[in-house]
Structure 1
Amino acid sequence: MNLQELTERLHRIRDNNDWQRFHSPKNLAMAASVEMAELVEIFQWSSEDQSRQLAPEQLAHAGQEVGDVVLYLLLLCSELGLDMDEVVRAKLADSERRFAK
Structure 2
Amino acid sequence: MKTSDLHDLRERTRQFALERNWAPYHTPKNLVMAMSVEVAEVAEHFQWLPTGAGDELDAPTRAAVRHELADVLLYLVQLADKLDVDLHDAAVEKMTVNAIKYPPGPGSALT
TM range (shorter): over 0.9
Task: Give the TM-score taking structure 2 as reference length.
Answer: 0.85
Percent identity at matched positions?
Answer: 34
Partner of residue 98, structure 2: 95
Q: Gaps (5+ residues) in structure 2?
A: 105-111
Q: Which amino acid aligns with 1:25?
A: P
Partner of residue 64, structure 1: 67
User: 1:28, 1:45 → 2: CA distance?
Assistant: 28
Higher helix share: 1
Bigger Cα Rg: 2
Kindly report the root-mean-square deviation, in angstroms, between the aligned alpha carbons of the 2 structures: 0.9
Q: Gaps (5+ residues) in structure 1?
A: none
Task: Give the TM-score taking structure 1 as reference length.
Answer: 0.94
Note the 1:12-91 alignment, pairs <5 A. Answer: 12-48=15-51, 51-52=52-53, 53=55, 54-91=57-94
Q: Which runs of 4+ in 1 moved over 4 A?
A: none
User: 1:63, 1:96 → 2: CA distance?
Assistant: 29
| Shift of residue 95, structure 1, vs aligned partner | 1.1
User: 1:100, 1:35 → 2: CA distance?
Assistant: 32
Q: Which amino acid aligns with 2:83?
A: L
| Shift of residue 59, structure 1, vs aligned partner | 0.8
